[in-house]
């Protein structure tokens, strides 16, 4: 019945037979049990589901898993170091209190890393605010997220 | 002061959060992340109509769909004698009669009353199968005329939402001395009048609500995982009022919860239905809302229409305040829906002012909309908005400076009994205002305004000097006012043999950082590192009890319960130490993590006492039980009264009506502060929601059909990063006089104080153009129309 798909998640190759309607985010959460990637909306607006596909940030709620045959997917679980030490962006979110309930956080961190990759390590407040347009946070008022991204970006130099 | 390593756990230190590592690395466990073996999925069939009779439901096609396990409708819940969802607060009307409490069935009984009302539930092997089968459920509706606006609902001839609530009136309630207020108006030099709307909001916690129930036939017990702010309350309401289950057989776990803002306080139909269904199908049943369902089914907030009048003498001293509010309760009474426009609203109308006579009437209506209940601030933002708007308008009419009129009317002597039932214990409103004016550089404003003028832009400054009542609540007072629950909190301190500690609190963290703040309180008191303290919350199977988190109550009430339990730990520790040190108990002092014989260097560390308590070889077993584990319940003596000044500075482009907030300054008095970083974060979040209400957010229903027009993030304007400024926040401290930590609570202040500050600022900017009045949200179109002298009619 299902369709076969094979992709690489956080460095691990996975092959599965799935309902062709399965979204990438469902594949990640339900099939892989990687529940750090969240679902906050059904209109591709909130960014809670953001992951990397071949290095680029993608909203995993708005694509089918079968579209990603052979792709390299990185989720929030895949960005810390081998011994669990946090990525500089994760560390900056903690240091700057850039999260409260934590639900938007994985998507925010992924988008923030993507922003640095695209725009470099020194980011203005305005660039960060505009760059995070696809991610909604209801808790923090963004003030500390902006500070965190600025600090995380600076600390990502040479990473 | 403290040694450096201790400073890390000290009260007043910005300790980085203990919970963050799990959230940042994807290790959080929210309800939808929990998977139970053999779980099935529920999908709710909801009414597409705002108001309709259900003529017939035909299940047969849906039942035959692939993967479907069961389909239940209101007939099935009625056959099992399921009760309605209860309301937790009984309001008595002006005549002393109880409010109208029409039934609130978890699945519709013959009639639907708002778009999104639950009609049936489909349970299937997968979520997609349940959703597919929902398409096959045949429901015949006889569509009825609908009413969505509370003002319209109360008019004669309006469609009737409930047979048991004539004219759609739930209650007409009043507070204050009408005769005294009328007398004050009779001698007024000037009366300022205002008609304003508090726009309806949709809470939108980013984690959608979810519930996963499991029935265990072997011991007839239930476990419910649910995105909820108060699991014990959820359990009590569900078992006692709706399902008639033995409370001790139901465990409610609210694991990591992705924001609440009030919307996850309530007992919802979905929680009840999945719990009930898990026994019927004998499988775990999981339901997770999608965002569209959240828009339709999470309780909404605000939605008031108010006429207010303020009487003043010739110096602008307030003599009397008269307020008439029409409040929209939605289609049903939600858990605390009745208390929000009454005891959480009318009681706040004194604000920070000495107004001697106040009278408020609230007319509360049922409409064909989603139920309305507490949303961040709950009643207090509505009161603050009325008061701070009318005060600013009064200043303009009296030709007084915005700050000056406030100063002239500030309460300065405490305790202060307001004419609307509250007794403020302490505050220092003038210092907050002074500090906020410095922070906002009010002195430099005329120059900035002149500079903007040169660029063709209009600058304005808006004030809001707000008060809130938090730390809910003295149970006896709440009970006398109609609350059907106690409002204490419970805490347990479990000291382990090696001296580390687990704290069990009835408060619930869904972003507030209790795991850190409460650990700081305990670590500082016991003189142990913050790393040695873990805080557990959100599980009726582990906490002694809990009333949960809402109304900025966690530190003031939950923290106080922990302090009381710590008193008991210390008292028992002294007894043990006296034995170990061979001294009299009365000579033992406890400080910096050591029990010491006063005036000597004989001491035993906290860990030593803990060890003796669990390895009681050398222990006063004849006098004392082993173990070091104490529980306390704390019932507050009064509300707490956080207060402060918020100042917004805006720049308006008169050509386009676009408003930019160029500066937002807040100085709040939250009493003592445990973790300034977390407190600031709470203020930021509250400000974003308050500014969101003022600038962007608006829940709109079609007046004819009752369809929700703002049912997704494409239509409902959530504040995004680029919509908000950075904030300047500071605090001024007057410690609360009646709780052991001297704390007041900080979770709602931002959402309460900020909306009038923003609107007042825009009116200030546009007053030279003749603009006197604006309604939220301040969309460019509305502002532009007001400038053109054609104000938009508010829906
Ligand atoms: S869940 Fe993907 S954008 Fe909201
Ligand atoms: S931290 Fe809660 S939504 Fe962003």
Are B673 and B684 spatial neighbours (Cβ–Cβ below 8 Å)?
A: no
Quote the domain boundaries for residue A38.
3-77
CA triplet B412, B414, B420: central angle to 5 degrees? 95
Is the Cβ pair B126, A19 closer than 8 Å?
Answer: yes
Location of structure tokens 């001698």: B187
Is the Cβ pair B678, A101 closer than 8 Å?
Answer: no
Are B210 and B286 spatial neighbours (Cβ–Cβ below 8 Å)?
A: yes
Ordered structural domains, chain B, with CATH: 20-27+488-634 (3.30.365.10), 34-144+207-258+264-297 (3.90.1170.50), 304-473+638-787 (3.30.365.10)
CA dist B255 → B262, B510, B604, B794 (Å): 16, 9, 38, 40
Query: What pLDDT, on a 0 to 100 scale, did the predictor assign at position B7?
Result: 47
CB-based contacts of B378: which residues, under 8 Å, 6+ apart? B262, B301, B336, B340, B344, B550, B551, B748
Q: How confident is the model at residue A158 (pLDDT cuts 50, 70, 90)?
A: confident
Query: What pLDDT, on a 0 to 100 scale, did the predictor assign at position B551?
Result: 87
Q: Is the pLDDT of residue B786 over 90?
A: yes
Q: Which residues line ligand 2 (CB under 6 A)?
A: A 99-105, 137-140; B 206, 258-259, 511
Interface predicted TM-score (ipTM) over 0.95 = yes
CA dist B150 → B167, B197, B367, B710 (Å): 11, 11, 6, 18
B685: chain A residues, CB-CB within 8 Å: 100, 138-141
Using the 8-state DSSP alphabet, how is residue B394 labeled? Answer: H
Q: Is the pLDDT of residue B223 over 80?
A: yes
CA dist A117 and A72 (Å) reads 17
**10 Å Cβ neighbour count for B625?**
12
Inside any domain, residue A82: no
Same domain, A53 and A94: no
- A158–B contact, CB cutoff 8 A: no
Q: Is the pLDDT of residue B78 over 50?
A: yes
User: What DSSP string describes B284-323?
Assistant: -EEEE--HHHHHHHS-BB--EEEEEEEEE-TT--EEEEEE
- B60–A contact, CB cutoff 8 A: no
Give the mean pLDDT of chain B: 96
Instruction: Name the least confident of A1-10, A105-114, B281-290, B305-314.
Output: A1-10
Rg (CA), chain A: 16
Two tokens at B151?
């003002």
Query: What pLDDT, on a 0 to 100 scale, did the predictor assign at position B2?
Result: 35
Are B650 and B762 spatial neighbours (Cβ–Cβ below 8 Å)?
A: yes
Which of A80, A103, A129 is opposite residue B207, by nearest beta carbon? A103
Q: Is the pLDDT of residue B94 over 60?
A: yes
Q: Is the pLDDT of residue B791 over 80?
A: no
Q: What is the CATH number of the domain that holds A115?
A: 1.10.150.120
Are B546 and B507 spatial neighbours (Cβ–Cβ below 8 Å)?
A: yes
Query: What pLDDT, on a 0 to 100 scale, did the predictor assign at position B9?
Result: 55
- A48–B contact, CB cutoff 8 A: yes
Two tokens at B611?
């060890």
- A122–B contact, CB cutoff 8 A: no
Rg (CA), chain B: 27
Helices (H), B32-108: 60-64, 74-79
Two tokens at B336?
């605390």
Inside any domain, residue A108: yes
Same domain, A41 and A94: no
Are B30 and B210 spatial neighbours (Cβ–Cβ below 8 Å)?
A: yes
- A27–B contact, CB cutoff 8 A: no
Residue of chain B whose Cα is closest to the Cα of A19 = B128
Inside any domain, residue A83: no
Same domain, A92 and A73: no
Same domain, A18 and A38: yes
Q: How confident is the model at residue B10 (pLDDT cuts 50, 70, 90)?
A: confident
- For B721, phi and psi rounded to 5 degrees? -55, -40
Query: What pLDDT, on a 0 to 100 scale, did the predictor assign at position A2?
Result: 86
**10 Å Cβ neighbour count for B789?**
9
Same domain, A99 and A44: no
| Ligand 1 pocket check for A46: Cβ under 6 Å | yes
Query: What pLDDT, on a 0 to 100 scale, did the predictor assign at position B795?
Result: 46
- A136–B contact, CB cutoff 8 A: yes
Using the 8-state DSSP alphabet, how is residue B680 labeled? Answer: H
What 3-state class would DSSP assign to A14? strand
Same domain, A51 and A93: no
CA dist B77 → A47, B81, B106, B121 (Å): 38, 6, 8, 11
Q: In a mutational test of the pocket of ligand 1, which residue from A26, A35, A38, A44 has the highest number of ligand atoms less than 8 Å from its CB?
A: A44
Q: Is the pLDDT of residue B287 over 70?
A: yes
Of A77, A106, A121, which one is at a domain's C-terminal end? A77
Query: What pLDDT, on a 0 to 100 scale, did the predictor assign at position B485?
Result: 85
Location of structure tokens 């239509």: B715
Query: What pLDDT, on a 0 to 100 scale, did the predictor assign at position B480?
Result: 87
User: What DSSP string describes B90-103?
Assistant: PPB-TTSPBPP---
CB pairs under 8 A between A and B: 186
Instruction: Report long-range pairs for B186-189 (Cβ below 8 Å, ≥24 apart).
Output: B187/B311, B187/B319, B188/B311, B188/B312, B188/B313, B188/B319, B188/B320, B189/B312, B189/B313, B189/B314
Query: What pLDDT, on a 0 to 100 scale, did the predictor assign at position B304?
Result: 98
Residue of chain B whose Cα is closest to the Cα of A61 = B290
Q: Is the pLDDT of residue B567 over 60?
A: yes
CA dist A23 → A67, A68, B28, B209 (Å): 9, 10, 21, 20
User: Nearest ligand to the C-alpha of residue A98?
Assistant: 2
Same domain, A59 and A97: no
Cα B295 to ligand 1 centre (Å): 15
For helices B402-409 and B429-439, the axis angle rounded to 10 degrees is: 160
What is the pTM (predicted TM-score) of this model? Answer: 0.96
Two tokens at B104?
């609130």
Q: What percent of chain A clears pLDDT 90, i.e. is strictly above it?
A: 96
Chain A nearest C-alpha distance from B459 (Å): 21
Q: Is the pLDDT of residue A85 over 80?
A: yes
Query: What pLDDT, on a 0 to 100 scale, did the predictor assign at position B260?
Result: 96
CA dist B315 and B23 (Å) reads 55
Q: What is the mean pLDDT of residues B262-279?
A: 97
Query: What pLDDT, on a 0 to 100 scale, did the predictor assign at position A1?
Result: 61
What 3-state class would DSSP assign to B611? helix
Same domain, A28 and A49: yes
Chain B nearest C-alpha distance from A110 (Å): 10
Inside any domain, residue A30: yes
Query: What pLDDT, on a 0 to 100 scale, did the predictor assign at position B4?
Result: 37
Instruction: Label each residue of B498-539 as H, E or C.
Output: CCCEEEEECCCCCCCCHHHHHHHHHHHHHCCCHHHEEEEECE
User: Nearest ligand to the C-alpha of residue B19?
Assistant: 2
Q: What is the mean pLDDT of residues B770-790?
A: 95
B480 burial (CB, 10 Å; 0-12 / 13-18 / 19+) is exposed
Same domain, A67 and A120: no
> Which chain B residues in 127-186 lie under 8 Å from chain A, judged by CB atoms?
128
- B23–A contact, CB cutoff 8 A: yes
B722: chain A residues, CB-CB within 8 Å: 126, 129-130, 132-133
Are B355 and B320 spatial neighbours (Cβ–Cβ below 8 Å)?
A: yes
Query: What pLDDT, on a 0 to 100 scale, did the predictor assign at position B793?
Result: 57
Are B420 and B360 spatial neighbours (Cβ–Cβ below 8 Å)?
A: yes
Half-sphere exposure (Cβ direction) of B146: Cα atoms closer than 13 Å? 29
CB-based contacts of B71: which residues, under 8 Å, 6+ apart? B59, B62, B63, B120, B121, B122, B123, B133, B137
Q: In a mutational test of the pocket of ligand 2, which residue from B208, B258, B264, B510 has the highest number of ligand atoms less than 8 Å from its CB?
A: B258
Helices (H), B154-221: 178-186
Chain B nearest C-alpha distance from A131 (Å): 9
- Give per-residue pLDDT as tens, B176-204: 999 999 999 999 999 999 999 999 999 99
Two tokens at B484?
């059907």
Q: What is the mean pLDDT of residues A77-87?
A: 96
Nearest CA to ligand 2 atom 3: A137
> Which chain B residues in 512-531 lie under 8 Å from chain A, judged by CB atoms?
512-513
Q: What is the mean pLDDT of residues B291-307?
A: 98
Q: In a mutational test of the pocket of ligand 2, which residue from A40, A76, A97, A103 has the highest number of ligand atoms less than 8 Å from its CB?
A: A103
Is the Cβ pair B721, A133 closer than 8 Å?
Answer: yes
CA dist A139 and A108 (Å) reads 12
Inside any domain, residue A135: yes
Q: How confident is the model at residue B1 (pLDDT cuts 50, 70, 90)?
A: very low
Q: What is the mean pLDDT of residues B680-701?
A: 98
Q: What percent of chain B clears pLDDT 90, i.e. is strictly above it?
A: 95
Is the Cβ pair A80, B25 closer than 8 Å?
Answer: yes
Inside any domain, residue A39: yes
Same domain, A114 and A140: yes
State the greatest distance between any 2 C-alpha atoms of chain B, in Å, as a whole number: 86
Q: Is the pLDDT of residue B568 over 90?
A: yes
Inside any domain, residue A20: yes
Same domain, A60 and A39: yes
Inside any domain, residue A48: yes
Are B634 and B486 spatial neighbours (Cβ–Cβ below 8 Å)?
A: no
Q: Is the pLDDT of residue B792 over 80?
A: no
What 3-state class would DSSP assign to B55? strand
- Give per-residue pLDDT as tens, A43-74: 999 999 999 999 999 999 999 999 999 999 99
Give the mean pLDDT of chain A: 96
- For B293, phi and psi rounded to 5 degrees? -65, -35
Structurally, chain A folds into a number of domains equal to 2
Of A77, A101, A125, which one is at a domain's C-terminal end? A77
> Which chain A residues in 50-69 lie under 8 Å from chain B, judged by CB atoms?
none
Q: Is the pLDDT of residue B471 over 70?
A: yes
H or E stretch at B193: strand B190-198
Same domain, A94 and A147: yes
Torsion of CA B260, B264, B265, B267, to 10 degrees: 180
Q: What is the CATH number of the domain that holds A27?
A: 3.10.20.30
Of A47, A77, A107, which one is at a domain's C-terminal end? A77
Two tokens at B155?
């008019």
CA dist B303 and B338 (Å) reads 13
- The candidate with the shortest Cα–Cα distance to A33, out of B34, B323, B291, B406, is B34
């Amino acid at each position: 019945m299902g369709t076969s798909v094979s992709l690489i998640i956080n460095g691990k190759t996975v092959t599965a037979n799935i309902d062709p309607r399965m979204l990438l985010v469902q594949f990640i959460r339900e099939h892989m049990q990687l529940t750090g990637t969240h679902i906050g909306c059904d209109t591709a607006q909130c960014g809670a589901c953001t992951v990397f596909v071949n290095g680029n940030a993608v909203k995993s709620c708005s694509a089918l898993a079968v579209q990603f045959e052979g792709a390299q997917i990185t989720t929030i679980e895949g960005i810390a170091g081998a011994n669990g030490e946090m990525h500089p962006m994760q560390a900056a979110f903690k240091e700057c209190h850039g999260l409260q309930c934590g639900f938007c956080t994985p998507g925010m961190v992924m988008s923030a890393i993507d922003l640095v990759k695209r725009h470099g390590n020194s980011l203005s407040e305005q660039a960060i605010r505009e760059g995070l347009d696809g991610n909604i946070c209801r808790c923090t008022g963004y003030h500390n997220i902006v500070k965190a991204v600025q600090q995380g970006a600076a600390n990502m130099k040479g990473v | 002061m403290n040694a450096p390593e201790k400073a890390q756990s000290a009260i007043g230190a910005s300790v980085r959060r203990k919970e963050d590592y799990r959230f940042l690395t994807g290790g959080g466990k929210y309800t939808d992340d929990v998977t139970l073996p053999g779980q099935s999925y529920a999908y709710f069939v909801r009414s597409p109509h705002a108001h309709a009779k259900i003529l017939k439901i035909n299940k047969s096609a849906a039942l035959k769909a692939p993967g479907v396990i069961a389909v239940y409708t209101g007939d099935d819940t009625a056959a099992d004698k399921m009760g309605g969802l209860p309301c937790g607060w009984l309001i008595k009307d002006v005549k002393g009669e109880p409010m109208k409490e029409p039934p609130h069935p978890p699945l519709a009984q013959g009639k639907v009353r708002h778009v999104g009302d639950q009609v049936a539930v489909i349970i299937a092997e997968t979520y997609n199968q349940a959703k597919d089968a929902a398409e096959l459920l045949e429901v015949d509706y006889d569509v009825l005329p609908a009413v969505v606006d509370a003002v319209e609902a109360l008019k004669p001839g309006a469609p009737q939402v409930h047979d048991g609530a004539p004219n759609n009136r739930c209650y007409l309630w009043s507070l204050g001395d009408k005769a005294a207020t009328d007398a004050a108006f009779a001698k007024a030099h000037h009366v300022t009048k205002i008609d304003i709307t508090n726009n309806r909001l949709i809470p939108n916690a980013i984690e959608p609500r979810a519930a996963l129930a499991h029935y265990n036939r072997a011991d007839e017990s239930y476990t419910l995982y649910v995105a909820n702010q108060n699991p014990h309350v959820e359990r009590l309401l569900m078992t006692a009022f709706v399902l008639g289950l033995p409370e001790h057989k139901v465990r409610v776990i609210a694991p990591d919860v992705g924001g609440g803002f009030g919307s996850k306080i309530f007992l919802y139909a979905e929680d009840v239905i999945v719990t009930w269904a898990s026994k019927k199908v004998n499988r775990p049943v999981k339901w997770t809302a999608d965002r569209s369902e959240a828009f339709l089914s999470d309780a909404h907030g605000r939605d008031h229409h108010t006429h207010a009048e303020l009487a003043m003498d010739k110096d602008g001293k307030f003599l009397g305040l008269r307020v008439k509010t029409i409040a929209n309760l939605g289609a049903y009474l939600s858990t605390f829906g009745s208390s929000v426009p009454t005891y959480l609203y009318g009681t706040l109308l004194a604000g920070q002012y000495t107004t001697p006579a106040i009278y408020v009437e609230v007319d509360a209506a049922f409409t064909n909309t989603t139920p309305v209940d507490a949303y961040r601030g709950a009643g207090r933002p509505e009161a603050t908005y009325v008061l701070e708007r009318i005060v600013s308008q009064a200043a303009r009419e009296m030709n007084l400076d915005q700050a000056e009129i406030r100063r002239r009317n500030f309460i300065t002597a405490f305790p202060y009994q307001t004419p609307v039932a509250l007794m403020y214990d302490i505050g220092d409103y003038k210092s907050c205002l002074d500090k906020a004016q410095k922070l906002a550089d009010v002195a430099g404003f005329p120059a900035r305004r002149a500079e903007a003028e040169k660029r063709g832009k209009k600058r304005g400054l808006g004030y809001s000097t707000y008060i809130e009542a938090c730390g809910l609540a003295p149970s006896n007072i709440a009970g006398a006012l109609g609350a059907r629950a106690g409002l204490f909190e419970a805490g347990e301190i479990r000291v382990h043999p090696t001296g580390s500690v687990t704290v069990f609190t009835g408060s619930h963290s869904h972003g507030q950082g209790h795991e850190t703040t409460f650990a700081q309180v305990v670590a500082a008191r016991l003189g142990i590192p913050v790393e040695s303290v873990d805080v557990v919350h959100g599980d009726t199977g582990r906490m002694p009890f809990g009333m949960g988190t809402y109304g900025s109550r966690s530190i003031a009430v939950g923290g106080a319960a922990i302090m009381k339990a710590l008193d008991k730990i210390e008292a028992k520790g002294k007894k043990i130490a006296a034995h170990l040190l061979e001294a009299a108990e009365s000579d033992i002092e406890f400080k910096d993590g050591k029990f010491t014989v006063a005036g000597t260097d004989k001491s035993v560390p906290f860990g030593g006492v803990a060890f003796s308590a669990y390895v009681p070889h050398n222990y006063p077993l004849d006098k004392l039980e082993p173990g070091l584990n104490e529980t306390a319940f704390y019932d507050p003596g009064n509300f707490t009264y956080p207060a402060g000044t918020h100042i917004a500075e805006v720049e308006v482009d008169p050509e386009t009506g676009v408003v930019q907030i160029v500066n937002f300054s807040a100085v709040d008095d939250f009493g003592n502060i445990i973790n300034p970083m977390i407190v600031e974060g709470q203020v930021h979040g509250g400000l974003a929601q308050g500014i969101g209400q003022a600038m962007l957010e608006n829940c709109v229903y079609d007046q004819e059909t009752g369809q929700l027009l703002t049912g997704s993030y494409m239509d409902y304007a959530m504040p995004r990063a680029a919509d908000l400024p950075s904030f300047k926040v500071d605090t001024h401290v007057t410690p609360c006089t009646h709780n052991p930590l001297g704390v007041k609570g900080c979770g709602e202040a931002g959402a309460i104080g900020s909306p009038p500050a923003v609107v007042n600022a825009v009116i200030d900017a546009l007053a030279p153009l003749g603009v006197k009045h604006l309604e939220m949200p301040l969309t460019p179109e509305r502002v532009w129309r007001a400038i053109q002298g054609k104000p938009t009619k508010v829906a």
